[in-house]
Structure 1
Amino acid sequence: MTPDQFQALIAKVTGEIAGRPLDGQLADFLNERFPATGAEFQAIAQACADAVAAGWMCEREHGGIKFGRVIKPCDALHGFSVDVVEMQDLVGPQHAHPNGEIDMIMPLEGDAKFDGHGAGWFVYGPGSVHRPTVSDGRAYVLYLLPQGAIEFTKQ
């Protein structure tokens, strides 16, 4: 798995959601179009595992969270950036999503949930704020951020 191959996988997703509002309807669409048990979701999950093993994804670590921006916002991904984190039973730093955030939740061990949601997709709307939390196990979470916008806030 190379970064270019990974970008091509993600482009299939961003191509289907470009221009849509970031809301609950988008989460429903993603969970129907790219279900956690489906081939495309599983291909992205396997690509994340392969990229982490190869050392070019989640290459940084702080406070027990492995993370990294995999792709900066670009036209090929319709203005989305891609970040991936690996977390296990912990709460991350509070941050805001000026333009929203699309989360792909990939449990790795246990019955891992991200902010209370299991395998699949969850969407935070523009202006939302949260402390990302993985409970009940270990998971990768892939974040699609419109224009790469994220603001870390004081708690």
Structure 2
Amino acid sequence: MSTTPDQFRARLAALTSQIAGRPLDAALDAWLNAEHGPASATWQALAADCATGVREGWLCNREGGGIRYGRIFKPADDLHGFSVDVVDMADIAGPHHVHPQGEIDLVMPQDGHAAQFDGRPAGWVVYPPGSAHRPTVSAGRALVLYLLPQGQIEFTR
């Protein structure tokens, strides 16, 4: 069964309604993994949506430096101020950047589920405001969905 971008957006809006206004911290990381982790219907549906979007070309429709990427949704009220980006990475480190208001990542390993994102397996990773990293996928290929408060990200040189 295929997913449309509108259906994907509605699923994300339902999720962001549950996290709107919460601090981006270790408690949110633990809650997301407990409530919406890889065994959950939410995670499985979002992973299927992302795989469909990549396959159909409405996700990750740009490429640079060996990474396929794309912002599918700008920050919006129905998404509770979050923007939505999805990247497709395999055994690569992306560009270093800072998260002024934090970042919430949904890690979806592909091809056998061994891939990790910044050393974390399938599931959610929450970075607090002011954090920075060089996003790295190791041990295979993963799709990673990024929720950025107000779409804020600052790439460093």
Range into which the TM-score falls when normalised by the shorter chain: over 0.9
2:128 & 2:153 partners in 1: Cα distance?
12
What is the match of residue 125 of structure 1? 128
Deviation at 1:109, TM superposition (A): 2.4
- Find out whether 1:134 has 2:124 as its counterpart: no
TM-score, normalised by the number of residues in structure 2:
0.96
Aligned structure 1 segments of 4 or more residues deviating by more than 3 angstroms:
none
RMSD: 0.7
> Where does the alignment leave 5 or more consecutive residues of structure 1 unmatched?
none
What is the match of residue 64 of structure 2? 62
State how 1:90-105 maps to structure 2 within 5 Å.
Answer: 90-105=92-107
> Where does the alignment leave 5 or more consecutive residues of structure 2 unmatched?
none
Q: 2:8 aligns with which of 3, 6, 26?
A: 6
Deviation at 1:7, TM superposition (A): 0.4
- Find out whether 1:114 has 2:117 as its counterpart: yes
- The one-letter amino acid paired with 2:123 is G
What is the match of residue 39 of structure 2? 37
- Structure 1 vs Structure 2: percent identity of aligned residues? 61
1:53 & 1:47 partners in 2: Cα distance?
10
- The one-letter amino acid paired with 1:149 is Q
1:114 & 1:35 partners in 2: Cα distance?
15
TM-score, normalised by the number of residues in structure 1:
0.97
Q: Deviations over 1:50-81 (max 9, x none)?
A: 11111110000111100000110000010000
What is the match of residue 88 of structure 1? 90
SS of 1:149's partner is: coil
- The one-letter amino acid paired with 2:66 is G
Q: Deviations over 1:12-70 (max 9, x none)?
A: 21011000000000001101110111111100000011111111100001111000001
1:91 & 1:35 partners in 2: Cα distance?
24
SS of 2:60's partner is: coil
